[in-house]
Chains A and B, each alone.
Chain A
Amino acid sequence: MSLNRVVVTGCGAVSPFGLGTKALLEAVWEGRSGVRLMEEWAEIGGLQSHLAAPVPSFDVKPLIPRAQRRTMGKMAIYATLAAQEAASDAGLSPALLGSGEVGVAIGSTTGSPETYQRFYEGFLPEMSVEGMRSGIFFQLMGHSCAANVCLALGIRGEQWAPSSACTSAAQSIGLGFLLVQAGRQRAMLCGGADEAHPSVTMVFDVVGAASRRHDLPISTPRPFDARRDGVVCGGGSGVLVLESLDSAVERGAHICGEVLGFGHVNDSAHIANPHESSMARAMGNALSAADISADAVDYVNAHATGTEQGDVAEAAAIGSIVGGEVPVSSLKGHLGHTLGAAGALETIVVLEMLKRQQVIPTLHLDHVDPGCAGVCLPRKIEGRSLQTVLKNNFALGGVNAALVLRRWSG
């Protein structure tokens, strides 16, 4: 059976910089940070990190009708807006979206944590569900983003919701790649979503891996930097339209890049600790799937979140695959760690790097940690010949994922 080539024909984003891919890309190229101090978190007992990169508040009423909005928590709203932008960017008609040939893979860490909070605030005092609105369960369920996107966009193909915290979007893109490659779907809307919420930051905070640089929020997180002090969690959603090359050509669609390979392994070693050889195995598998050698890689977009263990392990893993000359950077300094959205939002930026032939450096990287010095870490925007890139994302639970993307030159 011959496999389809898979290309990206549309992108959509809701990020710490607001609505739309334009806002995301402008902020990244201007070297801005989406991180801010969450003053209200100072009231939370035991929480020592009061930093986040949330999506700025906006009025959703004019954007999504009430009948659809009632079953959406924040993350599903983000996913729906990102999916609408991606579908529009790709020029997918309502008829094609509803044909059954287009599917969705959009994951998240959990259902909406803000809705969980609201539910239990009502439920626990009297152990009562009286007064609960009917839409609340649909905001809590694990496939809330994917289900709501299908409903809002009239999508009738396969519906998946890979849930694996920080690799949710990377897995979704990988899954979409496999489904389109195999011919099960003509196109897939792929990505992830999450919300900034103290219950998420807490996971990193309890092990001392969340940044506490409250005096200067826009200087953190600092991946690969000797003075980093941990992760900053964020929110948003990124969605990409993956489509068979034949379909894209037939439609005359604009092609943003090609997905060549996907590597995806579990380290089966520790629920939380990064695992260098498994990171390398994911990258190696992605290259094998793409049927290319490591010397074809022109750039690596790292997962690096600004934790000491994670950054050092990833730098070593990347070095073992591509050596010390290939430029490597992380986008967490700009975006924070948008968790389930990270793989997709970061991939959108990487596709723009391929288009502009420029490498975005790691924001706030001033003094490279000697433990990360085995790889090439650019300090300013660099013009480079970029054809083929690796994109990493790793997650709690031992999940390691890597994508191989290639510039589309027609």
Chain B
Amino acid sequence: MMSDSEIRERVRQVMIDEFELEGDGLRPEATLYDDLGLDSLDAVDMVVALEKAFAVKLANQEEVRSVRTLGDVVALIVRLQGEMAAGGNGQG
């Protein structure tokens, strides 16, 4: 199981690879839409990229819609990984 800091670093890398973002701007409080310049299409692609990177299922997660910041993304992955480790199947 990945540590929280490992998850944070991999989320950063996913955002850099998927959206060609500069690492400097990827602070936990950065908002996905306003600060990072993503839009609704990017949000779909972010879910796809995160599912692949962490082997979790996000597409039906209600929480995904309420994610606003990069920190929210990391927190969601941390929680899902924890649930999987505790015996859940990660399915939303």
Q: How many residues of A contact B (CB 8 A)?
A: 10
Q: Find out whether the CB atom of B44 lies under 8 angstroms from the CB atom of A134.
A: yes
User: For the side of the interface on B, what is the size category?
Assistant: 10 to 19
- Distance in angstroms from A221 CB to nearest chain B CB is 40
Asked if B37 is at the interface (CB within 8 A of a chain A CB), the reply is yes
Tell me which of B20, B37, B48 contacts A131 (CB under 8 A). B48
Contact partner of B20 (CB less than 8 A), chosen from A66, A132, A133, A134, is A66
- B19 at the A interface (CB under 8 A): yes
Task: Tell me if A132 and B19 are in contact (CB < 8 A).
Answer: no
Interface of A is mostly: loop
Q: Is the CB of B45 within 8 A of A133?
A: yes
B45 lies within 8 A of A134 (CB):
yes
In the complex, A135 has a CB within 8 A of chain B: yes
Find chain B residues with CB under 8 A from A66 CB: 19-20
- Cα-based distance from A134 to B19 in the complex (angstroms): 13
B41 CB–A CB distance under 8 Å: yes
A61 close to B20 (CB less than 8 A): yes
Docked-complex contact A132 and B37, CB < 8 angstroms: no
A1 CA to B13 CA, complexed, in Å: 61
Interface flag for A70 (CB, 8 Å): yes
Shortest CB distance A51–B (Å):
35
Q: Are A131 and B52 in contact (CB under 8 A)?
A: yes
Which 9 residue pairs spanning A and B have beta carbons closest together? A134-B44, A134-B41, A66-B20, A133-B45, A134-B45, A131-B48, A133-B48, A66-B19, A135-B41
A134-B48 Cα distance, complex, nearest whole Å:
9
State how many angstroms separate the Cβ of B34 from the closest Cβ of chain A: 14
CB-nearest residue of chain B to A66: B20
**Total cross-chain contacts (CB, 8 A):** 23
| A70-B42 Cα distance, complex, nearest whole Å | 9
Chain B 42-56 residues near chain A, CB threshold 8 A: 42, 44-45, 48, 51-52
B contact residues vs A (CB 8 Å cutoff): 19-20, 37, 39, 41-42, 44-45, 48, 51-52
Which residues of B are found within 8 Å of A132, using beta-carbon distances? 48
Which residues of B have CB within 8 Å of A127? none
Interface residues of A (CB under 8 A from B): 61, 66-67, 70-71, 131-135
Contact B45 A67 (CB under 8 A): no
- Identity of the chain A residue whose Cβ is nearest the Cβ of B21 in the assembled complex: A66
Residues of the A chain whose Cβ atoms lie less than 8 Å from the Cβ of B51: 131
A119 vs chain B, min Cβ distance (A): 14
Which residues in A have their C-beta under 8 angstroms from that of B20?
61, 66
Residue ID in chain B nearest A138 by CB atoms: B41
The complex places the Cα of A133 from the Cα of B52 at a distance, in Å, of 12
- Whole-angstrom CA separation of A71 from B52 in the bound complex: 21
A70 touches B48 (CB 8 A): no
CA distance A131 to B50 in the complex (A): 10
State whether A67 touches B37 (Cβ < 8 A). Answer: yes
Which chain B residues border A131 with CB–CB below 8 Å?
48, 51-52
A-B contact pairs, 23 of them (CB 8 A): A61-B20, A66-B19, A66-B20, A67-B37, A67-B39, A67-B42, A70-B41, A70-B42, A70-B45, A71-B41, A131-B48, A131-B51, A131-B52, A132-B48, A133-B44, A133-B45, A133-B48, A134-B41, A134-B42, A134-B44, A134-B45, A135-B41, A135-B45
A132: nearest chain-B partner, CB-CB: B48
Distance of A131 Cα from B39 Cα, bound (Å): 18
Chain B residues near A70 (CB, 8 Å)?
Answer: 41-42, 45
A70-B45, A134-B44 are known contacts; what are 18 more A-B pairs with Cβ within 8 Å?
A61-B20, A66-B19, A66-B20, A67-B37, A67-B39, A67-B42, A70-B41, A70-B42, A71-B41, A131-B51, A131-B52, A132-B48, A133-B44, A133-B45, A133-B48, A134-B42, A134-B45, A135-B41
**Residue of chain A at shortest CB distance from B20:** A66
* B42 contacts across to A, CB distance below 8 A: 67, 70, 134
Task: Give chain A nearest CB distance to B48 CB in angstroms.
Answer: 6
Considering the chains assembled together, what is the distance between the CA atoms of A318 and B37 in angstroms?
55
Residue of B nearest to A61 (CB): B20
Q: What's the minimum C-beta distance from B71 to chain A, rounded to whole angstroms?
A: 23
Q: Shortest Cβ distance from A394 into chain B, in angstroms?
A: 39
Alpha-carbon distance between A357 and B19 when the two chains are bound, in angstroms: 49
**Nearest Cβ in chain A — how far from B35, in angstroms?**
15
The CA of A137 and the CA of B59, in the complex, are separated in Å by 19
Enumerate chain A residues within 8 angstroms of B37, measured Cβ to Cβ. Answer: 67
Q: Which residues of chain A are near B52, meaning CB under 8 Å?
A: 131
**Assembly CA distance A67 to B41 (angstroms):** 10
